[in-house]
Amino acid sequence: MKTLQWIVVATAVILAGARAQSHTSPSGNNALIGAWHLVRIDAPGPDGKVSSTPQPEGMLIYTRDGHMSVQLMYPRSANSPDNEYVLGGYEASFGSYDVNEARHLVTHHVKGSITRDLLVGKDLPRVYQLTGNGYLIIHSTDPREHWSVTWKHY
């Protein structure tokens, strides 16, 4: 009887370890999970050149259960214009997300935003690239848009 109990306990420990290992795997959807800090935003102007304006501070969070949140605060000196993402030099939205690993596509489903009705209810598909040195690069799926945002895992 003690042997059977020992086998059951050992099997439970092995399975729990395998499950924990699968949740922390650095591939696919799991690789996005966690908190990321903004490294830089590259947005070429009409002339195709990337300006050297001051970069905002920012954080992007992906949770294991499919929720996301992003916040950016632009420096006063950046004179960031208000648009569908930014209001008063601040950008913030939250919601859920889906990942299509085969296409390297993450889609943010916006449930709330500082700009309220301009983004709420929208699905924002983004192409993502994970680099070997801990960076996440996100850019638009629209071939006419040439911006990219680089994040570093905390």
> What are the boundaries of each domain within the chain?
30-153
* Backbone φ and ψ of 38, nearest 5°: -70, 130
CATH superfamily of 30-153: Calycin beta-barrel core domain (2.40.128.20)
Average model confidence (pLDDT) for the chain? 82
Q: Look at residue 10 and tell me whether its pLDDT is greater than 60.
A: no
Tokens of 153: 């895992």
One-letter amino acid of 148:
S
pLDDT tens-digit series, residues 93-127: 999 999 999 999 999 999 999 998 899 999 999 99
Contact of 106 with 126, CB cutoff 8 Å: yes
What percent of the chain has a predicted confidence (pLDDT) above 70? Answer: 81
Q: State if pTM tops 0.85.
A: no
For residue 121, count other CB atoms closer than 10 A to its CB: 11
Rounded to an integer, what distance in angstroms lies between the CA atom of residue 125 and that of residue 131? 19
Which tokens go with 128? 């993502």
The secondary structure of residue 45, as a DSSP letter, is: -
